Structure 1
Amino acid sequence: MPQVERFPMGIPSGWFCIGYCDEFERGDIHAVHYFGRDLVVFRNDEGEMGLLDAYCPHLGAHLGHGGTIEGDSIRCPFHGWAFRPDGFCTKIPYGKIFPPRLKREPLAESYPVVERNGVVWAWYHPHGQKPHYEVMTHDEFTEDGWADPVRRIWRFASNPQEIAENGVDFAHFEFVHKMDAVPEGTAVYDKHIRKSEAHGHRQITLEDGSTKEIESSVFTVQNGAGQKFTRLKGVVELSMMVLATPIEKDDVELRFTFTHPPVEPGSPEEKAVEQAIAGTCGQTGVEGDIPIWHNKIHRANPFLCDGDGPILRLRRYFEQFYVDDEQPSLAAAE
């Protein structure tokens, strides 16, 4: 029997997190690997971020190992050729005649980069097409009046679609996370955007042993394959970014970034926020999912029942992010 391919889908196109803005000072250079490619990310002396193919188009030296920043460009360690974030060559230090072609078009392969919500976002498309939608801005991560972000990161063998699918797989919350049934709520799909909202009630136990019913809500917006934002209200108010970035088609980096309205240090409210974050990240949260994601396969034609949630609808939404030969197998008909 032939080996089963774990994931028939390739690497989706879209905006993806490649780090946080405060991780890159002027002059910083980092060798990274995303989208199945060796890349170099840097901030030039003018403060502009750049993401280029790692290997110099001249004779193939890795720009991220020994390269330096000079003005608006990254300089190759091998022969000193310099490149701006847009891929244009700005200097050949020993060349007497600057090739006319280099004045007309970029020589190094570059990727669009923007900084938003404290995140450095890179646009990936397998054929180099320009972005056809923008990164969303979230007030909680851009405006004053919110707590400093709390960050977590994991790496495991999966992909952005599998991670997103968990959000509509309502049955797993009971068996993986030992939670009560999660209300489905409503979901709206509009091209690359998916929005969902659910409301309910929770019973909490107070310090004196009594119980209290509180209203709870979950609002989520997915902006392409790599940007997801969730606002949770209940015992505490918590906002989070879910940032899934493909390293290879079966290797993913997952970041959670949290913020919340300010609370008094040492207060019961601060403890409740810490517990909520720990619960979202720990065994009752994503760390309960990761071993399953890491070892499962993608069933293109799954056997589903009426309690499984709108899994196939989410898969149809994700199909738009795959290009040509990276198109996944068609989902089973509902």
Structure 2
Amino acid sequence: MTSNPTPINLKMLLESQTLKRAPFPVPVGWYFIDYSENLKAGELRNISVFDQEWVLFRSESGDKVGVTDPYCPHLGAHIGHGGKVCGDNVRCPFHHWEYDTDGMCKAIPYAKVMPPITKKQAILRTLPTVEKYGMIWSWFHPLCEAPHWEMPYIPEIEDATGYTGSRRGSWTANTCIQEIAENGVDVAHLKFLHNAPGIPPVSAAYDGNQMRLDIGNGYIVGDMFGPGLNVMRFNQKDPVTEKVITATMISYSVPVTHDTTQMNMSFRHVDYAEGSPELAFTKKQIDHMIGAAEGEESAGFESVDFIVWNNKRYRPNPLLCDGDGPIFPFRNWFKRFYVDADLSKI
């Protein structure tokens, strides 16, 4: 008589049939919209972020920037098609109702009495929007809550002197913003995907909306401020000068939809003298971050990560081993940025 075989775990074997790229909504946070230089005074245009279309405009004075829902609260005309910037306001093309950057109705040219609600609150949804680091940033919350935190000071991109670097890039990834951020704690992939010489130690600490990441005992130190802003400092000894040189990658990804992300990055470094060995070394560091630096076998994210991101699906219950980084603590922290989501799927 033969013994019964051990029953197989069908749930694990069949789970892939139900996996999605992103089983959760756009997370709460501050997000990059555009570079300030790209939006001229009096300009209005349509943009697509956060799973919908919006209207982006700058006041005629140039001092104010607004991001509004596209459909007029009056009769639903699309403000971004035929609308116009008038002073500090955006004007609907249909009946010329005007709205400020806070969504308050400021003018109805033919009304003798404004609807009472216009005196009490905004009637057009707008996103809290600021200009910082030479960029336009908007706060997204699905229930229109005010910002939960302020944007941080970043010396590399805010100080008038001491730093330089105009290199920046933008890439589209067919995955959600959480999957991209999770790469920071998934240090095992550095060896097997990026051809790094080994798997570095990693630690992550969480404080409210912030995460502090340390990879390789100070080799890479990252500060993440919500889902939309990550400052990564790469510290490496230059074999020529034996100085520790720091190159900074400022990452500001934005969810175009809940499962498509526009990755944006700026690269900054100390303003070393032209022709100096320090300048040559830090430029090589930045080449390494992005792709593959000359003379190196390891590869940056542009070379290899997109192959994975563009084709993977999110496993809410991954099978991990002792060599994996702190993926579960990271996911538990990231849950704080979701509103009205089924957290059991995250």
Give the alignment's TM-score, normalised by structure 1. Answer: 0.88
Q: Summarize the alignment of residues 1-334 of structure 1 with structure 2, pairs less than 5 Å apart.
A: 4-46=19-61, 47-144=63-160, 145-199=162-216, 217-234=219-236, 235=238, 236-265=245-274, 267-282=276-291, 284-287=299-302, 288-324=304-340, 326-329=341-344
Report the 3-state secondary structure (helix = DSSP H, G, I; strand = E; otherwise coil) of the residue aligned with 2:337.
coil
User: Which piece of structure 1 moves more, 256-265 or 157-166?
Assistant: 256-265
Q: CA deviation at 1:45?
A: 2.4
3-state secondary structure, aligned to 1:168: coil
Does the residue aligned with 2:331 lie in a helix, a strand or coil?
Answer: helix
CA-CA distance at 1:160 after TM superposition: 1.3
Distance between the aligned counterparts of 2:205 and 2:152, measured in 1?
17
C-alpha separation in 1, matches of 2:29 and 2:216: 30
Moved more, 160-169 or 67-76: 67-76
Deviation, 1:155, is 1.1
Alpha-carbon distance in structure 1 between the residues aligned to 2:199 and 2:65: 41
Question: 2:176 touches 2:261 (CA, 8 Å); kept in 1?
Answer: yes
User: How big is each residue's C-alpha offset from its partner over 1:43-76, in whole Å with a ceiling of 9 and x where there is no partner?
Assistant: 1124111111012222222222322211110112
What letter matches 1:250 in structure 2? D
Q: Mark the CA change 1:327 to 1:113 in structure 2 (over 3 Å): closer, same or farther.
A: farther
What's the secondary structure of 2:332's corresponding residue? helix
Q: Residues of 2 paired with 1:313 and 1:27: CA distance?
A: 46
Q: Unaligned stretches of 5+ in structure 1?
A: 201-215
Cα distance, 1:199 vs. partner? 4.7
Task: Give 1:134 deviation, angstroms.
Answer: 1.5
Q: Secondary structure at the match of 1:152?
A: strand
Deviations 1:149-205, CA, capped at 9 Å, x for gaps: 3210011211111011101111111121111224224321112111123455xxxxx
- Given that residues 8 and 329 in structure 1 are in contact (C-alpha distance below 8 angstroms), is that contact kept between their aligned partners in structure 2? no
- The alignment's C-alpha RMSD in Å is 2.0
SS in 2 for 1:17: strand
Aligned residues of 1:158 and 1:252 also touching (Cα < 8 A):
yes
Show CA shifts across 1:106-140 (max 9, x none).
11101111222222211111111111111112111
* Equivalent residue number for residue 210 of structure 1: none
How far residue 277 of structure 1 moved from its aligned partner, in angstroms, is: 2.2
Q: 2:25, 2:180 → 1: CA distance? A: 14
On the 8 A contact 1:194/1:221 being kept in 2, the answer is yes
Residues 45, 72 of structure 1: 8 Å contact kept: yes
Further displaced range: 45-54 or 183-192: 183-192
Residue 186 of structure 1: SS of its match in structure 2? strand
AA of the residue aligned to 2:230: K
Structure 1 CA distance for aligned equivalents of residues 189 and 214 of structure 2:
19
Contact 1:8 1:328 in 2 (8 A): no
Aligned AA for 2:264?
Answer: R
SS in 1 for 2:93: coil
Q: Which amino acid aligns with 2:187?
A: F
Q: Please give the secondary structure, in 1, of the residue aligned with 2:219.
A: strand
Q: Select between 91-100 and 119-128 the one with higher mean Cα deviation.
A: 91-100
The question of whether the paired residues in 2 share the 8 Å contact of 1:17 and 1:245 is answered with yes
Structure 2 unaligned runs (5+)? 1-13, 239-244, 293-298
Alpha-carbon distance between aligned partners in 1 of 2:194 and 2:55, rounded to the nearest angstrom: 38
Q: Secondary structure at the match of 2:310?
A: helix
Separation of aligned partners in 2, 1:230 and 1:155: 20
CA distance in 1: counterparts of 2:43 and 2:197, whole angstroms: 47
Q: Which residue of 1 aligns with 2:242?
A: none
- State the 1:266 CA deviation: 5.1
CA positional deviation for 1:3: 5.0
TM-score when normalising by structure 2: 0.85
